[in-house]
Structure 1
Amino acid sequence: MSEDDRRVVVDGVSKLYDRDDGGVQALEDVEFAVDDGEFVCVVGPSGCGKTTLFRIIGGLESATSGQVRLSGAPVTEPSPDLGIVFQEYHLFPWRTVRGNVAFGLEQQAIDAEAREERVDAMLDLVGLEAFDEAYPTELSGGMKQRVGIARALAVDPEILLMDEPFGSVDAQTRSMLHEELLSVWEETGKTVLFVTHDVDEAVTLADRIVVMGAGPGHVQEIVDVDLDRPRDRTDGAFAENVEYVRGLISE
């Protein structure tokens, strides 16, 4: 398989922020690729440039050098081929759950009947069909994030790009959201690129883990997680994977 046949290719991406004191190198020569339908997590210590990399992949920020390609095409701006889910929910408080999920479809000028059918399918997918007329203030944190996932998937993107989406919910809710996200991933076959600081979360979810190092941000190692799903956190093999990735991060 050639590099441009991969769903996502991060090719020698570097990022330098110019400052009066001489500038800060946030990323240096970051390279990895993600296959179609793969679930890949990116982990690393604070300050390793995970969020900067996320923004560059999402077309929200430009690289100083190098390139990101989606299905062979360079990323130069946000694209409907990328569904983005942030840690903060970014829901429109004046819109209902249905209205939030429909937002991207409205921007694409999809007719009302097709739009409603798509929204219904997404609400069913994330288990929120009974809350379609609720407003964000009436939802728990976990429910808000499920709305965010449904909204990102509604436009049928090739890739779901997620930046620490479960970082602001409690541990029990996070565990439930892991199960739901994996169910959505298996049902839709989407490619998922998931940024997290939580190594246990990465081992729970990922096919492969891109471990980043700091000073400046770079790829330390790419780890295959060869464990059957669903994964048991009390299993010895799970713990071995967690300890190995943590060891890489602490180097």
Structure 2
Amino acid sequence: MTDSSRRRPRVSIEGVGRQYDSPQGVVQALEGVSFGVEAGEFVCIVGQSGSGKTTLFRIIAGLEDATSGTVYLGGDPVEGPGPNLGLVFQEYHLFPWRTVAGNVGFGLEKQGVDHEEQERRVRELLELVGLDGFADSYPRDLSGGMKQRVALARALAVDPELLLMDEPFGAVDAQTKRMLQNELLDIWSETGKTILFVTHDVEEAVKLADRVVVMATDPGRVREIVEIETERPRSRSDTSFGEYYERIMKLIRA
């Protein structure tokens, strides 16, 4: 990525904290989480269970309120879900009664985009994710990997400022996962989208990310941000890949 593409943060997480009440008292799930994601950057968040990754995802997505701090997207505070955020989850959340094209075009319908433009945009996106022959298929007819491609196309349809992904490849087999990772990198390269990607898989983070945000636990907070300087495509057999993997694993275990 060139320096010219990193002129301002697309996303700013500033001092975000989250507390919960429990029978045992107040639980501090997140404390003082701060980092930025620049326009066009691919950032992964990793950490042990209990490090607050999912809570942070939900706050950035506007699905949950922070107890303290603020998330800014494009300079504006995030106050709830909106079309400037494209969300992709581990579960596909496709509408079983809609075709592939109908699922991808759902957000465009909600925005009142005219039918002809909807069809054009859906065709482009299905070609982008390699499903141009499946517009009239239903989710029941698709494999897990194909369903996730539909979910990705649906998220991209409204041209969001940020693509926010939570363990999106966690429900597919290892071979499909590697294929989807490569396809996501191709889509990212082609679209220039800003991506924030939550994963428990350190290998996945090293393969995909420009930077990896390593979360610590009790409470969830940023331990360190690791910049991955190895050129893409990255291979697990490369010495530098293994070095980054071990470095991040040590930070997680610390």
TM-score interval w.r.t. the shorter chain?
over 0.9
For the 8 Å contact 1:26–1:216, the answer to whether it is kept is yes
The residue number in structure 2 matching 1:165 is: 168
Q: Cα distance, 1:23 vs. partner? A: 2.1
Mark the runs of 5 or more structure 1 residues left unpaired by the alignment: none
Write the distance in 2 (CA, Å) between the matches of 1:221 and 1:207.
14
Matches within 5 A, 1:1-251: 5-251=8-254
User: Secondary structure at the residue paired with 2:148?
Assistant: helix
Root-mean-square deviation (Å): 1.1
Q: Cα distance, 1:46 vs. partner? A: 0.5
User: Secondary structure at the residue paired with 2:71?
Assistant: strand
Write the distance in 2 (CA, Å) between the matches of 1:153 and 1:119.
10
The two structures have a TM-score, normalised by structure 1, of 0.98
Write the distance in 1 (CA, Å) between the matches of 2:101 and 2:109.
12
Q: Cα distance, 1:18 vs. partner? A: 1.6
Mark the runs of 5 or more structure 2 residues left unpaired by the alignment: none
For the 8 Å contact 1:5–1:72, the answer to whether it is kept is no
Write the distance in 2 (CA, Å) between the matches of 1:243 and 1:93.
42
Identity within the alignment, %: 63
The two structures have a TM-score, normalised by structure 2, of 0.97
User: Secondary structure at the residue paired with 2:119?
Assistant: helix
User: Secondary structure at the residue paired with 1:56?
Assistant: helix
Residue type at the aligned position of 1:120 = R
User: Secondary structure at the residue paired with 1:131?
Assistant: coil
> For residues 196-215 of structure 1, what are the alpha-carbon distances to aligned partners after superposition, in whole Å with 9 as ceiling and x for unaligned?
00000000000000000000
Q: Cα distance, 1:20 vs. partner? A: 3.3
Write the distance in 2 (CA, Å) between the matches of 1:228 and 1:218.
28
For the 8 Å contact 1:43–1:212, the answer to whether it is kept is yes
Q: Cα distance, 1:79 vs. partner? A: 1.5
Write the distance in 2 (CA, Å) between the matches of 1:148 and 1:186.
18
User: Secondary structure at the residue paired with 2:44?
Assistant: strand
The number of residue pairs the alignment matches comes to 249
For the 8 Å contact 1:42–1:212, the answer to whether it is kept is yes
Write the distance in 2 (CA, Å) between the matches of 1:234 and 1:96.
41
Q: Cα distance, 1:194 vs. partner? A: 0.1
Write the distance in 1 (CA, Å) between the matches of 2:28 and 2:93.
29
Write the distance in 2 (CA, Å) between the matches of 1:42 and 1:113.
38
Write the distance in 1 (CA, Å) between the matches of 2:93 and 2:122.
18
Write the distance in 2 (CA, Å) between the matches of 1:131 and 1:24.
46
User: Secondary structure at the residue paired with 2:79?
Assistant: coil
Write the distance in 1 (CA, Å) between the matches of 2:14 and 2:54.
17
Q: Cα distance, 1:6 vs. partner? A: 1.0
Residue type at the aligned position of 2:192 = G
Q: Cα distance, 1:21 vs. partner? A: 2.6
